[in-house]
Amino acid sequence: MYNAKAFAAQTQTSPLAPFNFQRRTPGAHDVQIEILYCGVCHTDVHIARNEWHGTTYPCVPGHEIVGRVVKVGAHVKKFKEGDLAGVGCMVDSCRTCESCKENLEQFCDSGATFTYNAPDKISGGMTYGGYSDSVVVDESFVLQIPKHLNLAATAPLLCAGITTYSPLRHYKVGKGQKVGVVGLGGLGHMGVKLAKAFGAHVVVFTTSPSKVADALRLGADEVVNSKNADEMKKHANSFHFILDTVAAQHDINAYFALLKRDGTLTQVGVPAEPLSVQVGSLIFGRKSFTGSLIGGIKETQEMLDFCGEHNITSDIELIPIQKINEAYERLIKSDVKYRFVIDMASLK
């Protein structure tokens, strides 16, 4: 074991504050990473504040980790000291169930071991995340980072990037397709960049007129004010695929009306309350309403390689760890374009 520094929540109402704890010494298959940057995901806020009712304290959030390898176990094959490396939302899984064998560890029958606030099968206790100076992870769950990308702006790809890439790839989005992205936040702005890189005609739906210019800058071909019924009606029955990134209550049926026959709407935002679905809006047109959860390790590496080839990173605001509580309050108000990333040098 060795000493690690971090910021942690001690209760659901306490601000994140300095916290010291023990990380395991790297085993034969482990990689020890000095964390350089860690993205801030809205999930971090939900879990730190126990809004999903399953948090164990103390809680060290963070699952968008980019860093440098400082030690490797004797049997590690993919990494050596000095390599850039990333860790996303998972650090382990059962590896034997049907989903794991199909490289879909996020759907592990036994439940994937998430990067923080999950039972730690190796060390006992709970996993601690990336708001820390280092992390030790089995090499099977460590990702290779394209060297030429901005490291800080790459960190959110480990969650926001794969969350939007996976459904776009699964539903074979590509040239000749019209694709909608609902919401232009941390997830939505990545959805726009990726869908555009796949060759689709991209339409952004937003309730914020102030985001029109940004949507176009990010690669959108059109922007629709979703509060304007006439603008919405112009797009009826025309979309092959819609990616809904909104995590607040909204009228999902308004978007079903925009899908072509056999079109698909995939939900990746997680509203706190159930959405009301009018089944008729799906039946007429044989339309599909689906959900998607991050991606497996193989697909996450594929996403990183794709982003490397197309020079895609997140739009970020870099902060020191000491401003994390302020960042949480701003995140709740959507006052960031479009992801906060912590410069972990500020922890030293």
Least confident range from 31-35, 103-107, 336-340: namely 336-340
Which pLDDT tens digit goes with each residue over 7-16? 999 999 999 9
What CA–CA distance (Å, rounded) separates 118 from 300? 20
289 in Cβ contact with 277 (< 8 Å): yes
**Could you state, in order of their start, the residue ranges of all structural domains in the chain?**
2-159+315-347, 161-291
What SS3 class is residue 184?
Answer: coil
Would you say the CATH fold of 161-291 matches that of 2-159+315-347? no
Cα-to-chain-centroid distance, residue 294 = 6
The closest of 141, 134, 113 to 30, measured between CA atoms, is 141
Q: 276: which DSSP letter?
A: P
* 105 phi-psi bin (left φ>0, alpha ψ -120 to 50, beta other): alpha
What is the band of 348 on the pLDDT scale with cuts at 50, 70, 90?
A: confident
Nearest-angstrom CA–CA distance, 49 and 64: 19
pTM given for the model = 0.95
Question: Helices 297-310 and 186-197: crossing angle, nearest 10°?
Answer: 70
- The CATH superfamily of 2-159+315-347 is Medium-chain alcohol dehydrogenases, catalytic domain (3.90.180.10)
Choose which CATH entry (2.130.10.10, 3.40.50.720, 2.40.30.30, 3.40.50.150) describes domain 161-291: 3.40.50.720
**pLDDT band at residue 209 using 50, 70 and 90 as cut-offs:** confident
Per-residue model confidence as pLDDT tens digits over 80-105: 999 999 999 999 999 999 999 999 99
Nearest to 59 by CA among 108, 121, 135, 115: 115
Give per-residue pLDDT as tens, 176-204. 999 999 999 999 999 999 999 999 999 99
Structure tokens at 271: 């509203």
Q: Pick left, alpha or beta for residue 36 (phi over 0 → left; psi -120 to 50 → alpha; otherwise beta).
A: alpha
- Bridge partners of 288, per DSSP, are 264
Contact in structure between 299 and 103 (CB atoms under 8 Å)? yes
3-state helix, strand, coil in the chain (%, to 5): 30, 30, 45
